[in-house]
Structure 1
């Protein structure tokens, strides 16, 4: 016993694998406890929201811009040699923009399906989607700057779209490559 009557008594030490005299029982292995988060939650929800909004935006683009342009003859006016607003780069630019958006639409729809299936292909497709989108935005911006009518109209919206594509790729590509949640959720089964 100690010399100090005011000091609490010190209980005898317990073995390392016991607590209050009871043996410790772990319901999961050390690897399972240290694996990290899993599932379609957390920050992984944001790429899904982005893909869904991209699908809506591209469908709106085709419905509100492409269809009226073809229906009212604007497309023919821009791409027919000898017309008032003709420029030789209009046709490749419109084809690249329409075709690129069509490819992005298909990629986004497939990525949404792979996301909910928890397929191991989702992170790869999402990375490809983000890089394709960023490259398409850059190409369309600089290609459109070669057409005099568009050079005047290169407004803040075009710069904003291009910046959004680049920043999105800069954020989500590293996330898909390094996130424990992505690795645990979309692993091969």
Structure 2
């Protein structure tokens, strides 16, 4: 059975079971850091330039040859979602290193919401003619990767002994 040790919140952990941020949790940490970097890169190299007056006007003005009424909501949606996910990723890193007991629920929410937001973004962008012409299937690959990611990480955070023994504060 193993020796039990009480934690601050009244739960107990088994001393002979894995705990800490090692094992598969290393991949979660790397993934969160890469998400912050990737999203910041996207915000600064794609989103912010899209809101420059010349590009914004080209995409959102009815007189433009590339105008589509969905450009404005799609660009605003992407900007809000990307900035929110940068902040959410940083929040998760802080929660993880503090070993907060709420971290597993928050990261599951993060994975699922990431998938939902990507699907919404895909639907929005797929209805813009210019994007349809340029799409090479990358968005569907991203959705597929996120489905696989959710299929791996959600059960991990729900069932892992390491997770149960680590996030106790």
TM-score band w.r.t. shorter chain: 0.7 to 0.9
Give yes or no for contact 2:17–2:162 (8 Å, CA) kept in 1. Answer: yes
SS in 1 for 2:64: coil
Give yes or no for contact 1:69–1:75 (8 Å, CA) kept in 2. Answer: yes
Equivalent position of 1:86 in the other structure: 67
Which TM-score applies when normalising by structure 1? Answer: 0.78
Aligned pairs for 1:146-185 (under 5 A) are 146-185=127-166
Partner residue of 1:99 out of 70, 73, 80: 80
Unaligned runs of 5+ in 1: 1-27
Equivalent position of 2:29 in the other structure: 48
Distance 1:33-1:131 versus aligned 2 partners, 3 A rule: closer
Distance in 2, Cα, partners of 1:91 & 1:69: 10
Equivalent position of 2:49 in the other structure: 68
Distance 1:62-1:30 versus aligned 2 partners, 3 A rule: closer
Equivalent position of 1:140 in the other structure: 121
Which segment is superposed worse, 169-178 or 75-84? 75-84
Give yes or no for contact 1:107–1:125 (8 Å, CA) kept in 2. Answer: no
Unaligned runs of 5+ in 2: 6-12
Distance 1:160-1:105 versus aligned 2 partners, 3 A rule: same
Distance 1:109-1:34 versus aligned 2 partners, 3 A rule: closer
Larger RCO, structure (CA 8 Å, separation 6 or more): 2
Give yes or no for contact 2:14–2:165 (8 Å, CA) kept in 1. Answer: no
- 2:105 maps to 1:124: yes
Q: How many residues align?
A: 161
Offset of residue 142 of structure 1:
1.8
Offset of residue 44 of structure 1:
1.0
